[in-house]
């Protein structure tokens, strides 16, 4: 384990861009021979935002998990353990909406690890591949080393992750960016809805129109309507 950790630090240090979350994500994707990678961060167990995505496929997949509240990122964060799926074509019952988005992005398998140090968990990292299969034991060990380092770099770039008052983990979506709550508040006031119902309506609208949740949010904040 120590040798893996030391080797991972050397790869990241040698990467273009220095010791940053983005550079570490690129080094990890290259080292583990995965096709794309996404990092989602969670503030105090409530507000979630995208830490990094190596390409648009990863960005769509991370946003899909934020929109639907299901997927490997949420499971890894909640369960505090490795979450894997060897063939997403066979995982509809596990993540019905996420698997549809994965198919659209030509992603066949995924592994996710929590970003944690001790009792503190600040998010999760998703490893996506276009071929079915599980990570090898070597790649799982390396992946855990990358996850620990990504956690440190995330805390360095977003120190509020460390200082925010944490709330207990609960089932379902692990938080949304502040703009999502603002947009839900706009809809709740306009249509006299409970905030949770307004949020559910936005998520359903985003999925029905095949658009990222942030686009729906931007529209609501601009036009004070989903229409």
Instruction: Write down the pTM of the prediction.
Output: 0.80
Is the model more confident about 68 or about 111? Answer: 111
pLDDT band for 172, please (50, 70, 90 cuts).
Answer: very low
- The values of phi and psi at residue 155, to 5°, are -65, -35
Neighbours of 55 (CB within 10 A): 14
* Residue 98 pLDDT exceeds 60: yes
Provide the β-strand partners of residue 47.
43
Confidence band, pLDDT 50/70/90 cuts, at residue 37: very high
Per-residue pLDDT at 171 exceeds 50: no
All domains in the chain, ordered by first residue = 2-163 (3.30.450.40), 178-223 (1.10.10)
Predicted pLDDT of residue 146 = 95
pLDDT number for residue 87 = 98
What pLDDT is stored for residue 140 in this prediction?
95
Query: Quick one: three-class SS letters along the chain?
Result: CHHHHHHHHHHHHHCCCCCCHHHHHHHHHHHCCCCEEEEEEEECCCEEEEEEECCHHHHHHHHHHHHHCCCHHHHHHHHCCCEEECCHHHCCCCCHHHHHHHHHCCCCEEEEEEEEECCEEEEEEEEEECCCCCCCHHHHHHHHHHHHHHHHHHHHHCCHHHHCCCCCCCCCCCCCCHHHHHHHHHHHHHHCCCHHHHHHHHHHHHHHCCCCHHHHHHHHHHHCCCC
Whether residue 124 is predicted with pLDDT greater than 80 in this model: the reply is yes
């Amino acid at each position: 384990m120590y040798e893996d950790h030391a080797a991972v630090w050397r790869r990241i240090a040698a990467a273009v861009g220095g010791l940053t979350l983005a550079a570490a994500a690129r080094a990890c994707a290259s080292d583990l021979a995965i096709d794309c990678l996404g990092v989602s961060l969670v503030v105090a167990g409530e507000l979630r935002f995208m830490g990094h995505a190596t390409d648009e496929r990863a960005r769509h997949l991370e946003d899909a998990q934020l929109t639907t509240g299901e997927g490997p990122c949420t499971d890894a964060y909640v369960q505090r353990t490795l979450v894997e799926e060897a063939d997403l074509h066979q995982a509809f019952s596990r993540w019905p909406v996420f698997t549809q988005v994965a198919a659209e992005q030509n992603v066949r398998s995924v592994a996710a690890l929590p970003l944690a140090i001790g009792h503190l968990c600040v998010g999760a990292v998703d490893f996506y591949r276009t071929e079915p299969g599980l990570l090898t034991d070597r790649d799982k060990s390396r992946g855990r080393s990358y996850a620990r380092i990504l956690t440190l770099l995330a805390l360095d770039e977003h120190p509020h992750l460390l200082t925010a008052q944490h709330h207990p983990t609960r089932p379902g979506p692990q938080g949304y960016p502040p703009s999502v709550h603002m947009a839900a508040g706009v809809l709740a006031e306009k249509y006299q809805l409970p905030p949770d119902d307004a949020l559910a309506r936005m998520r359903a609208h985003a999925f029905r129109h095949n658009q990222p949740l942030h686009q729906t949010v931007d529209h609501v904040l601009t036009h004070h309507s989903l229409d």
